[in-house]
Structure 1
């Protein structure tokens, strides 16, 4: 037996395993699991004949090895399939995870799409604004080109031009510098330089003749003419300049920003205040009612004093907007905000007369220079105007709260000071914006006259000149109760001659219609 055992020592583990496998056809793979290795398997060995048979075990193992590997691979595939089939929770969790990730990707794509749409809308608005500005710039260039042509025609037909051309043709043919520019301003400068050269030539000739014929006053006359030409050139440059530092679109935007500031203050102040049905009958209330009626009309003053605002103070907010709009429009109608009243009246009359009798650039330049030098003579005038307007807005607003039955702020000084401290910065911002708008319309715009307008209380509604703030809730017919948003009007003198202009020769356009509230608003706010 020993020699036989020695023959089977080669490949002991593999041959023995295959030996028992070949002798045990009842070997089962039912206990085989994907989690166990081959070394952990337990299988019964039931040989049919326990007596060993002398045979070539190596050859038998080589023949049975492929069959065994195929069985093991088939068992692994079957076990993997059964485990996934018998455990549906694993497949469900995988599907849920996939669905969750797809939803997250979908939400991210939606957010990115909304951001892209908002960006596209913003760029479209910017494109429209730039296109509008470009159109206005082109129109302005066309107007200036026409003015240059008119100045050229005037200069060409003037007798002075004919006289100068006879002296300067030879000099201009030799000097190429005279052929670079055809603008009226450069031509005036060249004429002054040519007069200076002629003066020098004539002066040298006169000095040569002086030794023979004595003194000659002609050089002094030529010097006087040269100085007059220079002064005339500077005067034309000053009073015929129509360059605007602000465009019409920018002025409209400034008025709209001012209206937004007024609306924010009125809404914030009304929301902070509380109102009561009972109103004290005192001398202060009577005086405040009279002053509010003077500013905003008797109808609005009566509505504020008689109606209950404890539930819906919308009427109080509209009255606040109306009183601030009236305050600013009255201040901007003066020649210089904060200046002396009598002097303002006189300067306004002078400018009105000049606007109807002089060319548009002349009257605009006079107003700009006058307004500028008033502020240079009184450097503190701008700060004084801002503080005065701020104080007026507070005083008028507190009068409205008083007659409306407000319990906060109360008529006592402490409550009013708290109200001023709460809204002081906001009201001062409104005053600064109004004063800045006044400076722009008076000093930085030469081509037209811009006016901030508001509709008067008691005026009949006109859809071409104003907008009904509640037009969506009913017909826009009736009488104006107050103005809640300011408008803008542009006036230009079309006549080019120095003769006085009539109303037909003045072009008036409303660039921004004021927004008003009609007396029928009571039916909209409180329908009974």
Structure 2
């Protein structure tokens, strides 16, 4: 029974029952149809609602995915923006370090900063901003390449400047070395070495004089007719070494009891020869020595002391290195001893006397020569702030107590104008050019040379002073 149909009232007639039944059936059928239609409509509505919900769900999912994609894109853009921001800061730091950016660079950087600030406020414009930043990055890369090329050029120029600086530094060091006034030895060192040389000369001369056998002469001096050509030649060489007066004393005096004159002559021979050694440039021929001395005299006159001293130092150093062999100076000196001995009356031929001297005293003479060569190197190469020269007085020069010392004791004969016989001990003179002048020198005697006077020799031998 259709619940929608109302029940008849209980007071209805029985005749009305069939009608009621018919009506009820029709009503029921209509209600069923209506219910079916309502059910179908409800089903359609449910299906439509379900389809609508499904579509809405799909749209929601799509929107969710789209939102996530947007978020991922925004995160990616934010990361790119951070990367670009760091890159920008690095470029700015690099440009700031190099200090080569100009005014338009500053405006571009400021514009880029504004662009970055705007990008932070409007994330939705990241794509456009990214494109702008890429363009700016390309521009900065171009600038970076340009700066790299400029840096490379600057490095090349810097390397060239460094090389030039090295060259100039080397030249300056060379100039400083050339102009240095620092001496390797002091004046006191040189004086000590000269005194050492004089001591060796005196000891060698005394030893040779004492060991030579000199016989008594038959007459005072050699008879003119008895002199051989060898003796005359020896006398001539002796006169060149010790002077005429000393040669005559050697020839005329007796030496077999006291060979003091021979010793003095030997000292004079060594003093003269070692003076030449100390002053020599290269121990070569007199012509070469004279030429070098003339050149040095011109250099000394024209240049400052530091330059002339350095020139002397370098010239002596390299000239003596060029010597093909060590000069045999001991042999040359021994020839002088042989001439003096033969003049003094030592028996034997010149060659035999020479051989005896070389055999017995060659080593000692060599020691004197080595000391003289060491003094040559010391004054020639070890001192540049001034000129230190061995001081030797030639025979027959007027005696002066200011620059000479009497080898045989104090003398009072200088007022009489006495001339010296010979020099036995070398002295030392210091000369320094007056700065800025031409040919003006400060000169001083650091060590007086010792000389022999006729008066001193007479007091030593006990013989009266006789002019020769």
TM-score above 0.5: yes
Tell me the equivalent position of 1:262: 201
- Equivalenced residues, count: 310
Q: 1:128-527 alignment to 2 at 5 Å?
A: 208=147, 222=161, 226=165, 229-273=168-212, 274-278=214-218, 279=222, 280-336=226-282, 338-378=283-323, 380-381=324-325, 383-384=326-327, 387=328, 389-407=329-347, 410-411=348-349, 413-472=351-410, 475-476=413-414, 477=416, 478-495=418-435, 497=436, 500-503=437-440, 506-524=441-459, 525-527=461-463
CA distance in 2, matches of 1:232, 1:442: 24
1:445, distance to aligned residue in structure 2 (A): 1.4
1:527, distance to aligned residue in structure 2 (A): 2.3
Q: Provide the TM-score with structure 2 as the length reference.
A: 0.60
Larger Rg belongs to:
2
1:403, distance to aligned residue in structure 2 (A): 1.0
CA RMSD of the aligned region, Å?
A: 2.9
1:449, distance to aligned residue in structure 2 (A): 1.0
CA distance in 2, matches of 1:303, 1:359: 47
CA distance in 2, matches of 1:473, 1:344: 36
Partner SS state of residue 406, structure 1: coil
CA distance in 2, matches of 1:220, 1:474: 75
1:424, distance to aligned residue in structure 2 (A): 1.0
Partner SS state of residue 400, structure 2: coil
| Unmatched 5+ stretches in structure 1 | 1-204
CA distance in 2, matches of 1:327, 1:284: 22
CA distance in 2, matches of 1:211, 1:427: 74
Q: Provide the TM-score with structure 1 as the length reference.
A: 0.54
CA distance in 1, matches of 2:170, 2:346: 64
Tell me which moved more, 341-350 or 416-425: 341-350
1:349, distance to aligned residue in structure 2 (A): 1.8
1:345, distance to aligned residue in structure 2 (A): 2.3
1:325, distance to aligned residue in structure 2 (A): 0.6
Q: Would the alpha carbon gap of residues 345 and 468 (structure 1) be closer, same or farther in structure 2, given more than 3 Å must change? A: same
Provide, for residues 23-65 of structure 1, a one-character-per-residue CA deviation record: whole Å limited to 9, x for no partner: xxxxxxxxxxxxxxxxxxxxxxxxxxxxxxxxxxxxxxxxxxx
1:406, distance to aligned residue in structure 2 (A): 1.4
CA distance in 2, matches of 1:357, 1:242: 18
CA distance in 1, matches of 2:316, 2:457: 43
Asked if the contact 2:231–2:343 (Cα under 8 Å) also holds between the matched residues in 1, the reply is: yes
1:335, distance to aligned residue in structure 2 (A): 2.1
Provide, for residues 239-298 of structure 1, a one-character-per-residue CA deviation record: whole Å limited to 9, x for no partner: 121222212111101100111111111111111122321345111111111221122211
Q: Would the alpha carbon gap of residues 399 and 451 (structure 1) be closer, same or farther in structure 2, given more than 3 Å must change? A: same
CA distance in 2, matches of 1:441, 1:481: 27
CA distance in 1, matches of 2:350, 2:287: 35
1:488, distance to aligned residue in structure 2 (A): 0.5
CA distance in 2, matches of 1:402, 1:412: 7
CA distance in 2, matches of 1:250, 1:430: 18
Tell me the equivalent position of 2:32: none
Asked if the contact 1:335–1:345 (Cα under 8 Å) also holds between the matched residues in 2, the reply is: no
Asked if the contact 2:334–2:354 (Cα under 8 Å) also holds between the matched residues in 1, the reply is: no
Q: Would the alpha carbon gap of residues 414 and 315 (structure 1) be closer, same or farther in structure 2, given more than 3 Å must change? A: closer
Q: Would the alpha carbon gap of residues 246 and 415 (structure 1) be closer, same or farther in structure 2, given more than 3 Å must change? A: same
Asked if the contact 2:266–2:337 (Cα under 8 Å) also holds between the matched residues in 1, the reply is: yes
Partner SS state of residue 378, structure 2: helix
CA distance in 2, matches of 1:401, 1:275: 12
